[in-house]
Structure 1
Amino acid sequence: MTNISRSPFVDKIEQTNPRRGFTMPHFTPYKEDEDLDQHLKHYRITMIFYGNNYALMCKIFATTLQGEVQDWFHTLPSQLIQSFNELSLVFTKEYSSNHLIKKTSNHLFSIVKGPWETIYDYVKRFNVENAKIVSCNEDIEMAAFRNGLPTEHPLFGKLIMGEELNLAASYALAKKHTL
């Protein structure tokens, strides 16, 4: 059984109280399967608006954890954390497997329309994966989109023959093929 009254923070942090009139900001709780970098960035940016108090940042951070992550937090040894940077490091080390893997435009070439998949579902799936890539060149997007279509699909021929088609026009053509 975990002793919840025991704090992983040094006394200086534990004795820090919010200034008078402080209103707790709202945070989406972090769950174990989410991107910890995104959670930490959002937390830091929000807390800076609330007065760059790193001791207070430590204490409030614990309220943003949920489920097994909250349980993990309460297993940290007493007097372990001396700063928000240390807390971030311990948190990141524990949940580093939850970092989103950055995808490159090459990833798009692995997206292929399944034999029983509708063109609409393929476009939708392609869009989801395309959104995970930062600054992808539209020519690469187009080539990957075309590459994922079977050569016998009518849309493939139209995309090959079409000059200067962009991805939006390709999606519009795909939509016509679903009707």
Structure 2
Amino acid sequence: MADEALRRDMTNISRSPFTDEIKQAKPPHEFSMLHFISFKRDEDPERHLKRYQSAMILYRNNDDLMCQIFATTLQGEVQNWFYTLPPQSILNFDELSLVFTKEYSSYCLIKKKSDHLFNVKKNPNESFRDYLKRFKAKKVKIVECNDSIARAAFQKGLLADHPLFRKLIMKEDLTLADSFALVEKHALWDEAH
């Protein structure tokens, strides 16, 4: 079984879309492998490229190394796609970046705005702590989220007949952090009683 996996890996390497020059290039003596976050198909490919280029800033003039190491950030389905590129078709990192971005831009999720949070509602059987956790997870995914809109959405997502909802609505000067703290305090009280 291990031999079969090794044979499959060797076949993939031989089908690399890189030119022979890129495949055979040796890393600089001082290079040590950095830790990179693997690209997931539904992520923003341009953000992944920027993060990669920032990490590789000292080696940005070494196209061969940039290509070789970038290929290691591709996992699963994305790695499979990489090996479907025609052999000898990638001549440099700019070309690899272009092909990669072109392929995965269509998979990129539509950027959500702050008002998307109005879709997050507390389920009747959900604890306040779980609602808070779920809401925060959604909020984190929104770039430049407007806290005023997020606060209004958070409050609106609570059940209107609950006393906590009234308490949050009545205090107009509450910040989003204050609202979170109040719900957290209420959740602790609920758990204790």
TM-score, structure 1 normalization? 0.85
Question: Which shifted more, 8-17 or 137-146?
Answer: 8-17
Q: Which one of 167, 174, 184 corresponds to residue 175 of structure 1?
A: 184
Cα separation, 2, equivalents of 1:163 and 1:68: 48
Cα separation, 2, equivalents of 1:74 and 1:139: 46
Partner residue, 1:150: 159
**What does the per-residue CA deviation read over 1:46-90, in whole Å, with 9 as the maximum and x for residues that have no partner?**
111235312221122222222332232222112211221211222
Richer in helix (by share): 2
Partner residue, 2:72: 63
Cα separation, 1, equivalents of 2:183 and 2:24: 61
Cα separation, 2, equivalents of 1:113 and 1:17: 55
Cα distance, 1:7 vs structure 2 = 3.2
Partner residue, 1:109: 118
Cα separation, 1, equivalents of 2:76 and 2:172: 53
Q: Is the 8 A contact 1:113 1:150 kept in 2?
A: yes
* Seq. identity, %: 60
Give 3-state SS (helix, strand or coil) of 2:59's partner: coil
Give 3-state SS (helix, strand or coil) of 1:4's partner: helix
Q: Is the 8 A contact 2:59 2:65 kept in 1?
A: no
Say if 1:39 and 1:137 are closer, same or farther in 2 by CA, change over 3 A.
closer
**What does the per-residue CA deviation read over 1:117-169, in whole Å, with 9 as the maximum and x for residues that have no partner?**
11211111111111122223322122111111121111111112113111122
The answer to whether 1:78 aligns with 2:87 is yes
TM-align CA RMSD: 2.3
Report the residue type matching 2:19 in the other structure. V
Question: Which shifted more, 124-133 or 18-27?
Answer: 18-27
Question: Which shifted more, 32-41 or 156-165?
Answer: 32-41
Question: Which shifted more, 31-40 or 125-134?
Answer: 31-40
Partner residue, 1:49: 58
Q: Is the 8 A contact 2:59 2:66 kept in 1?
A: no
Partner residue, 2:108: 99
Cα separation, 1, equivalents of 2:139 and 2:22: 43
Q: Is the 8 A contact 2:41 2:108 kept in 1?
A: no
Question: Which shifted more, 69-78 or 30-39?
Answer: 30-39
Say if 1:31 and 1:103 are closer, same or farther in 2 by CA, change over 3 A.
closer
TM-score, structure 2 normalization? 0.79
User: How many residues were matched structurally?
Assistant: 179
Cα separation, 1, equivalents of 2:43 and 2:65: 24
Say if 1:64 and 1:133 are closer, same or farther in 2 by CA, change over 3 A.
closer
Q: Which one of 144, 163, 169 corresponds to residue 172 of structure 2?
A: 163
Partner residue, 2:33: 24
Q: Is the 8 A contact 2:16 2:88 kept in 1?
A: yes
Cα distance, 1:97 vs structure 2 = 4.2
